[in-house]
Chain A
Amino acid sequence: MSGIARTRLMNEHKAFRKDHKVGFYGSPEKREDGTSDLFKWICGIPGPIGSIWEGGSYRLIMEFTEDYPSKPPKCKFTPTLPHPNIYPSGTVCLSILNEDKDWRPSLSVKTILEGIQDLLVHPNISDPAQRAAFDTYRDNYEEYERTARLFASQNPPP
């Protein structure tokens, strides 16, 4: 039991409830018994307006550990997204989520979700995570865009 992780996540939840951008959601997962799991958050990221992802709302699971906030949470889209930097498992590959790179304990849940939203429109082609999306993004942008728009229409906001 880490007290730091607990109090920080409690505060993150309150802070996020009070202040988040339109279309985003995020809170600890409700369990069957009515309690909520503070280490597992169910979040949602809206497709940025004006982008090929517009209209969709993408469900993402954020998993924290006892070592949060010295270690970043693991972020996983369910279902996975046809995007070059999202692994086939849904895991998001982003430098702010890597403790050896740009993770800082001060990053809030709100900032992480906004960072991932930004990744949707700005793929990082030097660090591909899934082959199919990477190939279409690079070789056939029209096809990539069509796949994204179709995916957006299949994932409307809840």
Chain B
Amino acid sequence: MFNASLTHKRIFVVGAGGIGCEVLKTLAASGFRHLTIIDLDTIDVSNLNRQFLFRKEHIGQSKAHVSRSVLLERYPDAHIISYQENVKSPRFNLQFYQQFDCVICGLDNVDTRRHVNRMCIISGVPLIDGGTAGLTGQSKPVLKGKTECFDCTVHAAPTHYAVCTIRASPTQPVHCIVWAQMLYNLIFGPPESNFNNALDDGEKATPLMVPIWKVCQATNGVVSEKDRVDLWKRAIDVFTCSFSTELKERNEVLDKNMVQAKPILDLLKGDLDVTTLSPDTCSSIDETFVENLAVHTLPQLAKTFIRTFYDLSIRQLTQHPTQDTSVLFDKDDSLALNFIYAASSLRSINFNIKRETRHSVKAIVGNIVPAVASTNAVVGGLTVLELIKFLTISSPLQNDLCYTVVQMRESNHRLLSASAPADPNPECPTCSLTYHICDLNPSISLKNFVDSYIRGTLTIKGDFSLSVSTPSLRVLYDSEMEEEFPLDKSLSALGVADTTLVLLDQCCDTDTPVSCGIYFSLPQPTPQKRTTVSGGLPKEEKTMKTH
């Protein structure tokens, strides 16, 4: 049936979602019995259509723990450890990675993938990265020094829109949606969401474009009748200002050759007088299937904007009485989404841009890539095939490995296209570096570290600089400007700790500096005690973790 030698191989599965569930099921069914699962997430009702380890009764529980217990029911002889944690946590250090024969990654974001990729490169543990987006996907093996790693190619970054595009000259539906989201964040969002808000005019803001908390306050969570009247009036004023008054001003100052915006009030003439609306007569659209795909009329959109602005104001003031307790925009928040939908549609009408349905607006604001169960299954299966292949070949070469791309489109005659993985990119910021494992205690001073470790142990000559990327990219030291850096401070005072990666860039005459990584890995105080929990234990102990 299966290769008995696989039973004892230890596999770390990162992510127990769409791909992870498939990987775990296939691993167990293929005979793997030593699995470690990590996933930060809990199970949501929307996962159930494709993450087949989970059932209705699991909603709200940890993906990692539930997948572990479900697998144990079927494979009671398996040894499975589960963590409901962020894989970037320092406890998942070098020693942690080194206990595994391979890592399989099924993640949905670039940032965490980069982290796992880097840990695998530093520890030398093979990685197989699975990824899907709708009907396409891939399985990619990463073997240090033999194949390209995740960072060897540049990954498309999300587009940032220029302030002027968003504020003054939108040309695509997405510009209007970004604008609507910024308007939402400015008035209802937490301060951190407005760090780079294009609509934020700071102290010079017009009195209408300020956070709702600055306007009025709820006493003991109750908004007074008078405040309600004011808030309703305010909703109408914001509507008038955003979609008409401001744009008229814009039109006046613009060059004649620029596109003139169409003020909504002019278009509404005769159909609706917004000043006569009241909370009793003005309804928002409903969140139904039909409404999701409908093309709404201008009066419907106007009413929805005013109504949702008012409802959001009341909700924020009663439930999140200060700006510090406010919550980020959530695509599953129907009220907030209705606001974004109405605001972006009105703005699209202003600028004569194609309008999106509520359904597509939700996909755009939520950056939702449709998840397809069969793509996940194919990719999950491929990662395990690849794993079995390189565990059964002694010291696999590049040509033994397969980088497989899946395309499940009808027009495509080949479901899979496999090729040998590409060579490592010699300029890769991650796998081209040499990594030094440093077991010095970070209480050492910066000066001592530079003199004895870098100049001494590593025998680095000439000018160089040191930086760390956690929590933000910071320069610790630059030998050309030595006096500007805190030489007497300890490395720990500068934020260096166990598991910190310090990057050293040597300056040379060429444009590309020679770099290496210094990974702080403190000796473990006591030999690590590992508790492996197997299926035979009582249920309450099943969620036990190591340590």
A-B contact pairs, 5 of them (CB 8 A): A6-B505, A11-B513, A35-B474, A35-B495, A88-B204
Of all A-B residue pairs in the complex, the 9 with the closest CB atoms, nearest first, are A3-B429, A34-B486, A88-B204, A88-B201, A1-B469, A98-B162, A67-B157, A126-B255, A35-B474
The answer on a CB contact under 8 Å between A10 and B163 is no
User: For the complex, what is the distance from the CA of A126 to the CA of B486, rounded to whole Å?
Assistant: 48
B284 proximal to A (CB < 8 A): no
A128 proximal to B (CB < 8 A): yes
A131 CB to nearest chain B CB (Å): 7
User: For the complex, what is the distance from the CA of A126 to the CA of B167, rounded to whole Å?
Assistant: 14
B165 proximal to A (CB < 8 A): yes
A57 proximal to B (CB < 8 A): no
A152 proximal to B (CB < 8 A): no
Q: What does the 1/0 interface line of A85-126 toward B look like (CB < 8 Å)? A: 001111101000111110000000000000000000000011
Q: What does the 1/0 interface line of B481-493 toward A look like (CB < 8 Å)? A: 0001110010001
A158 CB to nearest chain B CB (Å): 16
User: For the complex, what is the distance from the CA of A80 to the CA of B201, rounded to whole Å?
Assistant: 10
Task: Please name all residues of chain B whose beta carbon is closer than 8 Å to the beta carbon of A25 when the two chains form the complex.
Answer: none
* CB-CB nearest in chain B for A33: B494
The answer on a CB contact under 8 Å between A87 and B430 is no
Give me 9 other A-B pairs in contact (C-beta within 8 A), A7-B513, A89-B201 excluded. Answer: A4-B429, A6-B429, A10-B465, A30-B484, A33-B495, A38-B475, A80-B202, A101-B162, A126-B255
Task: Please name all residues of chain B whose beta carbon is closer than 8 Å to the beta carbon of A9 when the two chains form the complex.
Answer: 473
User: For the complex, what is the distance from the CA of A151 to the CA of B428, rounded to whole Å?
Assistant: 47
Q: Mark A residues whose CB is within 8 Å of B.
A: 1-7, 9-11, 14, 28, 30-31, 33-39, 63, 65-67, 70-71, 74, 80, 87-91, 93, 97-101, 125-131, 134-135, 138
Q: Could you say which of B201, B255, B428, B505 contacts A87, with CB atoms under 8 Å apart?
A: B201
B511 proximal to A (CB < 8 A): yes
The answer on a CB contact under 8 Å between A7 and B515 is yes
B514 CB to nearest chain A CB (Å): 10
B214 proximal to A (CB < 8 A): no
Q: Could you say which of B205, B249, B429, B511 contacts A2, with CB atoms under 8 Å apart?
A: B429
Task: Please name all residues of chain B whose beta carbon is closer than 8 Å to the beta carbon of A93 when the two chains form the complex.
Answer: 162-164
Q: What does the 1/0 interface line of B456-499 toward A look like (CB < 8 Å)? A: 00000000010101001111100010001110010001110000
User: For the complex, what is the distance from the CA of A2 to the CA of B169, rounded to whole Å?
Assistant: 31
* CB-CB nearest in chain A for B446: A34
B218 proximal to A (CB < 8 A): no
* CB-CB nearest in chain A for B159: A99
User: For the complex, what is the distance from the CA of A138 to the CA of B255, rounded to whole Å?
Assistant: 12
A25 CB to nearest chain B CB (Å): 14
Q: Could you say which of B164, B254, B503 contacts A129, with CB atoms under 8 Å apart?
A: B164
B1 proximal to A (CB < 8 A): no
What range describes how many residues of B lie at the interface? 35 or more
Q: Could you say which of B202, B253, B257 contacts A128, with CB atoms under 8 Å apart?
A: B253
Which secondary structure dominates where chain B touches chain A?
loop
Task: Please name all residues of chain B whose beta carbon is closer than 8 Å to the beta carbon of A98 when the two chains form the complex.
Answer: 162, 164-165
* CB-CB nearest in chain A for B151: A3
Q: What does the 1/0 interface line of B224-264 toward A look like (CB < 8 Å)? A: 00000000000000000000000001000111011000000
The answer on a CB contact under 8 Å between A127 and B200 is no
User: For the complex, what is the distance from the CA of A34 to the CA of B361, rounded to whole Å?
Assistant: 45
Task: Please name all residues of chain B whose beta carbon is closer than 8 Å to the beta carbon of A91 when the two chains form the complex.
Answer: 163, 198
The answer on a CB contact under 8 Å between A88 and B202 is yes
Task: Please name all residues of chain B whose beta carbon is closer than 8 Å to the beta carbon of A127 when the two chains form the complex.
Answer: 164, 168-169
The answer on a CB contact under 8 Å between A38 and B164 is no
B393 proximal to A (CB < 8 A): no
Task: Please name all residues of chain A whose beta carbon is closer than 8 Å to the beta carbon of B118 when the two chains form the complex.
Answer: 1
User: For the complex, what is the distance from the CA of A89 to the CA of B163, rounded to whole Å?
Assistant: 11
User: For the complex, what is the distance from the CA of A90 to the CA of B200, rounded to whole Å?
Assistant: 10
A99 CB to nearest chain B CB (Å): 7
The answer on a CB contact under 8 Å between A37 and B151 is no
Task: Please name all residues of chain A whose beta carbon is closer than 8 Å to the beta carbon of B475 when the two chains form the complex.
Answer: 10, 28, 35-36, 38
User: For the complex, what is the distance from the CA of A58 to the CA of B430, rounded to whole Å?
Assistant: 38
Contacts of B141-197 to chain A: CB distance below 8 A: 151, 154, 157, 159-165, 167-169, 196
Task: Please name all residues of chain A whose beta carbon is closer than 8 Å to the beta carbon of B255 when the two chains form the complex.
Answer: 125-126
The answer on a CB contact under 8 Å between A126 and B429 is no
Task: Please name all residues of chain A whose beta carbon is closer than 8 Å to the beta carbon of B154 when the two chains form the complex.
Answer: 4, 70
The interface centre, meaning the residue of A36, A101, A138 with most chain B CB atoms within 10 A of its CB, is A36
B512 proximal to A (CB < 8 A): yes
The answer on a CB contact under 8 Å between A10 and B157 is no
User: For the complex, what is the distance from the CA of A88 to the CA of B114, rounded to whole Å?
Assistant: 38
Task: Please name all residues of chain A whose beta carbon is closer than 8 Å to the beta carbon of B169 when the two chains form the complex.
Answer: 127
The answer on a CB contact under 8 Å between A70 and B505 is no
Q: What does the 1/0 interface line of B75-106 toward A look like (CB < 8 Å)? A: 00000000000000000000000000000000
A95 CB to nearest chain B CB (Å): 9
The answer on a CB contact under 8 Å between B249 and A131 is yes
User: For the complex, what is the distance from the CA of A20 to the CA of B507, rounded to whole Å?
Assistant: 20
The answer on a CB contact under 8 Å between A38 and B473 is yes
Task: Please name all residues of chain A whose beta carbon is closer than 8 Å to the beta carbon of B505 when the two chains form the complex.
Answer: 6-7, 10
User: For the complex, what is the distance from the CA of A101 to the CA of B160, rounded to whole Å?
Assistant: 12
The answer on a CB contact under 8 Å between A87 and B163 is yes
Given contacts A89-B202, A126-B254, whether A37 and B513 have CB atoms under 8 Å apart is no
* CB-CB nearest in chain B for A36: B475
